[in-house]
Amino acid sequence: LGAMADVISDGNDTRVPVTVLTGFLGSGKTTLLNRILSENHGKKLAIIENEFGEVGVDDALVKRRFDTQEEIFEMNNGCICCTVRGDLIRILSKLLKRKERLDGIIIETTGMADPAPVAQTFFMDESMKEFARLDGIITLIDAKFIVQHLDEEKPEGAENEAVEQVVFADKILLNKTDLVSEEELATVEGRLRQLNKMAPIVRCQNANVPIASVMDVHAFDLERILEIDPSFLEESEHEHDQTVTSIGFEREGDLDMERLNAWVSKLLQEKGVDIYRMKGVLAIQGSEDKYVFQAVHMLFTGETIEPWGDAKRVNKLIVIGKNLPRDEITNSFIACFAQQQ
């Protein structure tokens, strides 16, 4: 440990910096990753993605606009902070053994993840401590919906992940500021300050911040985290709110646009408050292009992206929310297909 302390205090820390990107569902993490993967910043980065859900949609969303040099790891076997701890270390070890030196690693945690266990990996695993250093926990905040998530009543014993993500942040990106008034922003910032007095708050729209401001910022201060939570370096079981579930679809075929629109409207009208996030890459009858749509609560946006070309027209859709009636949602979505299978 003495040697480690020397390496760190020396100022010539050659270990690979790791950014943990966190934020509640729909706060803009994929948008930020899209920018990091597309901007000409000259850095060789590894992205480790992690989805809370049955079908990995982010892969299609992130890769949709460019051929990236980066490798994108998508782990579908649960959140990083629950079952994937071992897997995370295995993937990091594999990355760090490569001949080419990485300039940085970005771990995008699921919207349901408490960032603490991901951060702990870099203090508890000896091989990690030697090769990588935690550079910072960057938390994206959806200005319009954050107060609702912070106030949400959780079953006894379950953590409010939105609160945890704010508490552990080294820097807070207050995103989607164009959706709220100046007065609401001041209220939101006040709430964030109650939870985290230290982290700088950066206002932004479309997660548009300079890449340099989220990478290699040397923001992570172990002493400060220990002040918040002395048990941070002790193992603990992470208890998710069991009412939160994900429903995933992966199905070939064409959807009828009219039926799909009616389905989405009805679902968001009736269940919008309970739906944290919907996202999908869909095949629409009569259209050559992939249709990407995303929804956060009742806010919905859709656009066509590149053509399907020779690829199979496989629809991928994920709905994440609480108390969702799985059968009802599944059957009503399947009824939107143009040719009933």
Q: Tell me, what's the pLDDT at 127? A: 79
- Map the chain to HEC letters: CHHHHHHHHCCCCCCEEEEEEEECCCCCHHHHHHHHHHCCCCCCEEEEEECCCCCCCHHHHHHCCCCCCCCEEEECCCCCCCCCHHHHHHHHHHHHCCCCCCCEEEEECCCCCCCHHHHHHHHHCHHHHHHEEEEEEEEEEECCCHHHHHHCCCCCCCCCHHHHHHHCCCEEEEECHHHCCHHHHHHHHHHHHHHCCCCCEEECCCCCCCHHHCCCCCCCCHHHHHHHCHHHHCCCCCCCCCCEEEEEEEEECCECHHHHHHHHHHHHHHHHHHEEEEEEEEEECCCCEEEEEEEECCEEEEEEEEECCCCCCEEEEEEEEECCCHHHHHHHHHCCECCCC
Q: Tell me, what's the pLDDT at 221? A: 59
Spatial separation of the C-alpha atoms in residues 21 and 115, rounded to whole Å = 9
Q: Tell me, what's the pLDDT at 165? A: 84
Q: Tell me, what's the pLDDT at 296? A: 67
Q: Tell me, what's the pLDDT at 226? A: 56
With a cut of 50, list the residues of the chain below it in pLDDT: 1-10, 65-66, 68, 73-86
Q: Tell me, what's the pLDDT at 2? A: 34
Q: Tell me, what's the pLDDT at 310? A: 93
